[in-house]
Copies of this chain bind each other. A is one copy, B any other.
Amino acid sequence: MMARITMDDVDALARGCAVLGTGGGGDVRTAAIAARRAISAYGEVPLVSLEELDPDALVLPLSGIGAPTVSHEMIAAAEEPVLIRDEVERVFGRPPAAVMSSEIGGANGVAPVAWAARLGLPLLDADAMGRAFPEVQMVSMNVAGIPPTPVVMADAVGNVVTIRPIDGVWSERMARAVCVAAGSSALMADYILTAGELARGAIRGTVRRAIAIGRATQGARDPLAALIAELGAARLITGKLTELERRTTGGFARGTVVIEGTGEDRGRRLTVEIQNENLVAIENDRVRAIVPDLITIVDTLTASAIQTENLRYGQRVTVIAWPCDPLWRTPEGLKIAGPRAFGYDLDHLPVETIAP
């Protein structure tokens, strides 16, 4: 059993988190640098399971919020976690006992190592998505019917905002407005719950899983095959990135990317639609994979995931897809983060039934 997150774990974690989410919360490599620096300054971070915490212990789910193309530049100023910790202590009357990733996918899966190190707290081996989603109400606690309130935010200049929204959608609306006013980047804590309350709201084991995904490709002879095996993923297409359209609107990075098949996939053409994350993969008007299942574009040679903002014309890529956590396929899960939550008039079809 791994009791602490070491420098070496950070690299594997960053690789794994990049596979689990390609949009949200800043650049994964920048987050990894911040995590390594924080470990160097404050020591390795204990990794604990929910069962190892006292049921009354307060857990602090943290995530960066903002358009990735902006927060790329601004991640991990040192004092935001401290400001949030202090405000939580004021609001709840006691300090948090552990930090948790709100989303394991992307930079938000890696940066909590830095935030936990800065606060001298352990990191919980769990998150609230099992992947990445672009909106703050798309979390497992919301699926479990737990209200997000209060939401605590801090920005780089030192402003602290506490929101008591009436529901998850207002939480997103208010948090996004504060984020934009703060220069489109802020650190956020929501669903601040006890370990006991989190037992019915967290997705467990996802930090260890992200590290395992990262390790699977390190030093493998065929990294792509190793990654696909580790994830139990379907390969949707291998080819070349031939069309790319991106824009930042309403605090989100949106876009469309087209991959044209090469080699055994020659003559095929796959379109992926993006809102921070890859949401749907379509071939010949047929859905090949769709949110909340995971779709990731990886470098065909190295199997490294390519973040939305790093997509470029001409890249040699493979698109893979695999099942989300079963929680997201429940009726409530699909209501919160299924195709219709993103404006698609489409039902969710499990990737394992349509991708091959």
Task: List chain A positions with a Cβ less than 8 A from chain B.
Answer: 87, 90-91, 157-166, 170, 173-174, 176-178, 180-182
CB distance from A86 to the nearest CB of B (A): 10
CB distance from A203 to the nearest CB of B (A): 27
- CB-nearest residue of chain B to A161: B163
Q: How many copies of this protein are present in the complex? A: 2
Q: Are B181 and A174 in contact (CB under 8 A)?
A: yes
Q: Are B177 and A87 in contact (CB under 8 A)?
A: no
CB distance from A89 to the nearest CB of B (A): 13
Q: Are B164 and A161 in contact (CB under 8 A)?
A: yes
Chain B residues within an 8 Å CB radius of A170 = 157, 159
A159–B161 alpha-carbon span in the complex (Å): 13
A163–B155 alpha-carbon span in the complex (Å): 12
- CB-nearest residue of chain B to A160: B164
A182–B176 alpha-carbon span in the complex (Å): 12
Q: Are B87 and A90 in contact (CB under 8 A)?
A: no
The list of the 10 closest CB pairs from A to B, nearest first, reads A177-B181, A160-B164, A162-B162, A158-B166, A177-B177, A161-B163, A159-B165, A159-B170, A173-B181, A174-B181
Chain B residues within an 8 Å CB radius of A163 = 159-162
Given A177-B177, A177-B181, A178-B174, decide whether A157 and B166 contact each other with a Cβ distance below 8 A. Answer: yes
A198–B160 alpha-carbon span in the complex (Å): 24
A280–B245 alpha-carbon span in the complex (Å): 48
CB distance from A94 to the nearest CB of B (A): 14
CB distance from A79 to the nearest CB of B (A): 11
Chain B residues within an 8 Å CB radius of A178 = 161, 174, 177-178
